[in-house]
Structure 1
Amino acid sequence: MDRSRARQDHFDAVVVGGGHNGLVAATYLAKAGRSVVVLERQDQVGGAAVSAEAFPGTGARLSRYSYLVSLLPQQIIDDLGLDLELVRRRYSSYTPVAGGTSGLLVDNEDRRATRKSFRRIDAGDDAGAFGEFYGGTATLAERLWPTFMKPLLRRAEARELVGDEEIWNDFIEQPLGRVIERSVASDLVRGILLTDGLISTFARASDEDLQQNKCFLYHVVGGGTGDWDVPVGGMGAVSGALERAALAAGVEIRTGAEVTAVAPNGVVHYLPVEENGPMRSVSGEYVLANVTPAVLGRLMGGPSADGFATTAGAAEGAQVKVNLLLSRLPKLKDPEISPEQAFGGTFHINELYSQLDAAYTAAENGRIPSPLPIEIYCHSLADPSILSDSLRESGAHTLTVFSLQTPHRLTHSADHEVLRAELQAAVLESLNSVLAEPIEDCILRDGDGEPCIETKTTLDLEEILGLTGGNIFHGPLSWPFAEDDAPLETPAQRWGVATDHQRVLLCGAGSQRGGGVSGLGGHSAAMALLEES
């Protein structure tokens, strides 16, 4: 932090929150000649898109919160000159049969092997329908993705652009469960199709509010293909590239700056986190808020401030994240699938369609689901650069486990440390149900002799990152288009970043198309501000 400055500075834009979206917005504006300051509470920028040596003394830098990239447009990478490499994974997913010794491996490079795998789990009749289902999502991706970097279309315009009434009705107008149940018969295959609709979204396949559909859509349109890629160097490489681009463009970044109030006239008050000095303030022609709408509401006058009322339930996330460092990949119960294949894509465990619904019921009644639906990703298989030379040579690997149907409400009536331990135990139990050996036998120990495993709950995300309810999307997801009767008179409205205050714009995941590590919220806010001024 620059301590020589006067207590109030004036900028063209003040960005509240130095997560990846805030850095994207700031860099676009600075490259357009605007003066910009970013205020970040943590001692580093990047928000949830950071890497850290979670296990001291091991030489492994893990993507601590977010971990894959799909929605970050190549245009943003090119526009900002980001030095960033993304790696495509060969395998889409592996899903073991619950209680069995076989599973479904979806191989992106070998359709024949994938069809054989469908037959192996007695779901041969679903193989063709599985491909047709994703053919529909490919049409959505191809038609809708190019609109994400432009002002919002209206619903009728988006529908016309998709140009296929059956696809539009299946994925946009009715609960996702209907097309899933009509398309395939296997409980396992149905579960695979549904999981993309439940990432950090507490929902059922048949819910009429269609939150599962919105979540699903964002998971299948990225890049126009729906592919989820591995950032070489981990998520820290993403935020690092953005920070370098921001500084090169002339953005001023102040870390350790905890924002305490935002005024409609553009004045922002903040406290230096590591100092005992007085309150400081800056002002801007515009304030871009890279915080949740609920947090912005409090900063502007209270939890129910105009335009920012958000209920706790609506804002809740629904996941637990567990990071592990292993001496080696564990052996599977399935004798025909190697660990490298199973962990090479998304490893689905206890995510049958019926299990996902049962898990919802358990969590709705205040219980941790058993078995707990989980998904696993192994960064080090695709990108070993996050490991030290000695770890790579030893055969070590990282695992990231992400649970489904574990809503924030579970943290309300329990001791947090006890709950974290219970959730971690549930994750390990679920994982062990498909392994031929306990995962505990493969977990390395850190420099202090402690097992290399860390668990982050929704409450941790709320307290550490300021994510209301631990929701990685900042709140309920919205469609990537405006309703036909939505007001689109101002640039902020047209770009999906408007608040009730003309000089305050959203620039994070809470904007119209801001979910995920995409930079879209930051891009939209910058475009709206540049159009306005």
Structure 2
Amino acid sequence: MIGTRQGRTPEVTVALPERAERTPRPGASRHDVVVVGGGHNALVAAAFLARAGMRVTLLERLDAVGGAAVSASPFAGVDARLSRYSYLVSLLPYTIVRNLELVVELRSRPVSSYTPVRRSGADTGLLVERRPGAATQDSFRKLTGGEAEYRAWTRFYEQLGKLARALSPTLLNPLLGRGQLEALAREEGAGQAWEWVFEQPIGAAVERFFGDDTVRGVVLTDALIGTDSWAGDASLKQNRCFLYHVMGNGSGEWRVPIGGMGSVTEALHRSAVDAGARILTGVEVTHIEPDAGGGRAEVTYRDREGAEQVVQAGYVLAGVAPAVLTRLLGRGGAGAPQPQGTQLKINMLLDHLPPLKSGADPHVAFAGTFHIDEGAAHLSQAYKDSHAGRLPDPLPSEVYCHTLTDRSILGKDLLKRPDVQTLTLFSLHTLPGGATKEEMVRAAVAGLDAYLEEPLADCLLRDAHGEPCLEAKTTEDLQEELAMPGGHIFHRDLSWPYAERADQVGKWGVETGIDNVLICGAGARRGGGVSGIPGHNAARAVLDRVADAGRRRSSGI
């Protein structure tokens, strides 16, 4: 594979036409900040700004805040609160949890991953513990026939750990230049990992390090979750996805939110409200109008009765996707590339976990990430199939069981049944148009069934209407329900965590080209995932500007 420094991600820039200073609309309520959208990042921004003493109003289209970071009881008559869209947490910094005094618990899973494998007519598998030890080493040896792959795995992730420790602390600070960030990585001894991730397609390093197709695939899945790409993509967008999956809090560990993802949103909501933020739900923002001088903006929305309301503020923070912000600003966006998600999400409730053909204990195998048909060669073919308008067969996906780590999401009646478990399935390379929703679900279930001794259908609980407890969400569902363009879970392709131009150094990566309109959602630089980082950084950008304006006034400038 050819090394490259390509892959620059565009900034969110919205140009305004020249216009005169406008007279504020009579009767409009006034605040310091209006936050558009009520996802977890928007709540982080609202909480930080309200705690700083600013008058904050948050406007959310849905009847509840949280966006994709919510829990729900989707099965009639069944008391189980499942993480409906997002489901694990890695990138949420301890600093945000501490400074907002959030009452949240993120619990480690005992297993990192298990990958069932069928070779030479026999079923086996690869187990990777959260902290790889004797069981992991033995599993590598049995699968690959020696020690080389396990030693390579250890060296590879030791280097990535150094890179994560170097870069993770920078995410809550103003942007550094690429050279500055590289220097930090090299000081930490992560120069080799920097080259793997920042200089060439990640597939090149994976091919050099590992010889086994299954091992290669397990590594590469972190580069492809929610990202339409492949191992050798010269744009390096798969590398950016990989980086964010291995960088969280300096360890890259993905943990289970106790109480479900909704518990994270509930803690953020309490923090914002307790600090004095005004939060309105069931209201839809229809237009954002900044003035030419950048000192004020008007936000128009429809209230619950359908009446048009206007609120004025010095700053507008957009927790919506960049493409949605462009529309709200009246800039159209025609001709701009549209984001496109690649996944199918399935939530399930089972009366017991099915046994595996490999003989592995399902309580171990499903405790981490259970990889299905994600060998490197098949991931490459699945990408080609999806771009040819076909549903990959088999469909690469991964599954995990929340309740093996946290049973608090089950109601008291279900808690009396120790065998009841949840399963969450998330597919890769599932572009719209290749199949119907029903066909996608059948393909995903068939892929899992191929490794089970008992069909999944025989394990599913039934709801009050006798229907199987299985709920599926496609990219079209995410677009319709959460206003995520193309169902892209990161709002757009992830960006590098550094300034790509000299004039961005020292800024926060939330700027839009309009002085008092900032991005606080996943589409910001250093966005994506359940992290709160864009919300924190947008709040810091506002506070920095307010402080700078105060200094200028006091000095008579």
* Pair 1:121–1:370, CA change in 2 (3 A): same
* Pair 1:221–1:363, CA change in 2 (3 A): same
Instruction: Give me the whole-angstrom Cα distance separating, in 1, the residues matched to 2:117 and 2:441.
Output: 22
- 1:519 aligned residue (521, 528, 532): 532
Q: Who is 2:300 aligned against?
A: 269
* Pair 1:110–1:220, CA change in 2 (3 A): closer
- Please state whether the residue corresponding to 1:263 is helix, strand or coil: strand
* Pair 1:268–1:424, CA change in 2 (3 A): same
Q: Who is 2:214 aligned against?
A: 188
Render the CA deviation track for 1:353-397: whole Å, top value 9, x for unaligned.
Answer: 001001001101001100000110111110000011221222211
Query: What is the CA-CA distance between 1:56 and the residue it aligns to?
Result: 2.0
Query: What is the CA-CA distance between 1:252 and the residue it aligns to?
Result: 0.2
Q: Who is 1:178 aligned against?
A: 204
Instruction: Give me the whole-angstrom Cα distance separating, in 1, the residues matched to 2:441 and 2:250.
Output: 35
Query: What is the CA-CA distance between 1:503 and the residue it aligns to?
Result: 1.0
Query: What is the CA-CA distance between 1:188 and the residue it aligns to?
Result: 0.1
- 1:434 aligned residue (447, 451, 454): 451
Render the CA deviation track for 1:289-321: whole Å, top value 9, x for unaligned.
Answer: 00000000011113328xxx7412xx1111110
Instruction: Give me the whole-angstrom Cα distance separating, in 1, the residues matched to 2:486 and 2:373.
Output: 25
Q: Who is 1:487 aligned against?
A: 503
- Please state whether the residue corresponding to 1:285 is helix, strand or coil: strand
TM-score scaled to structure 2, two decimals?
0.90
Do the aligned partners of 2:206 and 2:216 also contact (CA within 8 Å) in 1? yes
Give the letter for the 1:472 counterpart.
I
User: Aligned pairs, how many?
Assistant: 509
* Pair 1:110–1:127, CA change in 2 (3 A): closer
Counterparts of residues 173-322 of structure 1 (less than 5 Å) = 173-265=199-291, 266-272=297-303, 274-276=304-306, 278-304=307-333, 310-312=336-338, 315-322=339-346
Instruction: Give me the whole-angstrom Cα distance separating, in 1, the residues matched to 2:129 and 2:512.
Output: 44
Q: Who is 1:509 aligned against?
A: 522
Render the CA deviation track for 1:90-115: whole Å, top value 9, x for unaligned.
Answer: 11000011464100001134511111
- 2:482 aligned residue (459, 465, 489): 465
Give the letter for the 1:45 counterpart.
V
TM-score scaled to structure 1, two decimals?
0.93
- Please state whether the residue corresponding to 1:400 is helix, strand or coil: strand
Q: Who is 2:12 aligned against?
A: none
Do the aligned partners of 2:240 and 2:495 also contact (CA within 8 Å) in 1? yes
Do the aligned partners of 1:202 and 1:406 also contact (CA within 8 Å) in 2? no
Do the aligned partners of 2:91 and 2:529 also contact (CA within 8 Å) in 1? yes
Give the letter for the 2:504 counterpart.
L
- Please state whether the residue corresponding to 2:423 is helix, strand or coil: strand
Which moves more between the two structures, 107-116 or 64-73?
107-116
Query: What is the CA-CA distance between 1:181 and the residue it aligns to?
Result: 0.2
Instruction: Give me the whole-angstrom Cα distance separating, in 1, the residues matched to 2:29 and 2:465.
Output: 46
Query: What is the CA-CA distance between 1:8 and the residue it aligns to?
Result: 2.1
User: Is 1:357 paired with 2:373?
Assistant: no
Instruction: Give me the whole-angstrom Cα distance separating, in 1, the residues matched to 2:130 and 2:262.
Output: 27
Query: What is the CA-CA distance between 1:123 and the residue it aligns to?
Result: 4.9
Query: What is the CA-CA distance between 1:122 and the residue it aligns to?
Result: 2.1
Instruction: Give me the whole-angstrom Cα distance separating, in 1, the residues matched to 2:102 and 2:373.
Output: 38
Render the CA deviation track for 1:138-160: whole Å, top value 9, x for unaligned.
Answer: 01111000101100111000000
Instruction: Give me the whole-angstrom Cα distance separating, in 1, the residues matched to 2:327 and 2:179.
Output: 35
Give the letter for the 1:284 counterpart.
A
Q: Who is 1:381 aligned against?
A: 404
Percent identity between the two aligned chains = 50
Counterparts of residues 325-474 of structure 1 (less than 5 Å) = 325-335=349-359, 337-394=360-417, 395-407=419-431, 410-411=432-433, 419-474=436-491
Instruction: Give me the whole-angstrom Cα distance separating, in 2, the residues matched to 1:311 and 1:7.
Output: 39
Instruction: Give me the whole-angstrom Cα distance separating, in 1, the residues matched to 2:192 and 2:163.
Output: 11
Do the aligned partners of 1:123 and 1:186 also contact (CA within 8 Å) in 2? no
Give the letter for the 1:295 counterpart.
V
Instruction: Give me the whole-angstrom Cα distance separating, in 2, the residues matched to 1:20 and 1:29.
Output: 14
Do the aligned partners of 1:303 and 1:310 also contact (CA within 8 Å) in 2? no
Instruction: Give me the whole-angstrom Cα distance separating, in 2, the residues matched to 1:70 and 1:183.
Output: 25
Query: What is the CA-CA distance between 1:349 and the residue it aligns to?
Result: 0.6
Query: What is the CA-CA distance between 1:260 and the residue it aligns to?
Result: 0.6
Instruction: Give me the whole-angstrom Cα distance separating, in 1, the residues matched to 2:482 and 2:132.
Output: 41
Q: Who is 2:13 aligned against?
A: none
Do the aligned partners of 2:114 and 2:126 also contact (CA within 8 Å) in 1? yes
* Pair 1:31–1:157, CA change in 2 (3 A): same
Instruction: Give me the whole-angstrom Cα distance separating, in 2, the residues matched to 1:256 and 1:168.
Output: 45
- Please state whether the residue corresponding to 2:443 is helix, strand or coil: helix
Query: What is the CA-CA distance between 1:121 and the residue it aligns to?
Result: 1.0
Q: Who is 1:17 aligned against?
A: 37
- Please state whether the residue corresponding to 1:385 is helix, strand or coil: coil
Q: Unmatched 5+ residue regions in structure 2?
A: 1-25, 292-296, 547-557
Instruction: Give me the whole-angstrom Cα distance separating, in 2, the residues matched to 1:110 and 1:460.
Output: 38
- Please state whether the residue corresponding to 1:298 is helix, strand or coil: helix
Query: What is the CA-CA distance between 1:514 and the residue it aligns to?
Result: 1.2
Give the letter for the 1:142 counterpart.
R
Q: Who is 2:67 aligned against?
A: 47
Give the letter for the 1:247 counterpart.
V
User: Is 1:112 paired with 2:140?
Assistant: no
Give the letter for the 1:376 counterpart.
V
- Please state whether the residue corresponding to 1:45 is helix, strand or coil: coil
Instruction: Give me the whole-angstrom Cα distance separating, in 2, the residues matched to 1:507 and 1:181.
Output: 37
Q: Unmatched 5+ residue regions in structure 1?
A: 1-5
Do the aligned partners of 1:136 and 1:167 also contact (CA within 8 Å) in 2? yes
* Pair 1:7–1:69, CA change in 2 (3 A): farther
Instruction: Give me the whole-angstrom Cα distance separating, in 1, the residues matched to 2:140 and 2:47.
Output: 47
Give the letter for the 2:531 counterpart.
S
Render the CA deviation track for 1:492-532: whole Å, top value 9, x for unaligned.
Answer: xx100000211100000000011100000100000000000
Do the aligned partners of 1:498 and 1:506 also contact (CA within 8 Å) in 2? yes
Instruction: Give me the whole-angstrom Cα distance separating, in 2, the residues matched to 1:385 and 1:519.
Output: 24
- Please state whether the residue corresponding to 1:97 is helix, strand or coil: strand
Instruction: Give me the whole-angstrom Cα distance separating, in 1, the residues matched to 2:374 and 2:86.
Output: 21
Instruction: Give me the whole-angstrom Cα distance separating, in 1, the residues matched to 2:69 and 2:145.
Output: 38
Which moves more between the two structures, 259-268 or 242-251?
259-268
Query: What is the CA-CA distance between 1:7 and the residue it aligns to?
Result: 5.7
- 1:28 aligned residue (23, 45, 48): 48
Q: Who is 1:159 aligned against?
A: 182
Give the letter for the 2:332 counterpart.
P
Do the aligned partners of 2:159 and 2:192 also contact (CA within 8 Å) in 1? no
Do the aligned partners of 1:344 and 1:381 also contact (CA within 8 Å) in 2? yes
Instruction: Give me the whole-angstrom Cα distance separating, in 1, the residues matched to 2:243 and 2:350.
Output: 33
Instruction: Give me the whole-angstrom Cα distance separating, in 1, the residues matched to 2:223 and 2:144.
Output: 25
- 1:85 aligned residue (105, 111, 123): 105
Do the aligned partners of 1:288 and 1:506 also contact (CA within 8 Å) in 2? yes
Give the letter for the 1:190 counterpart.
R
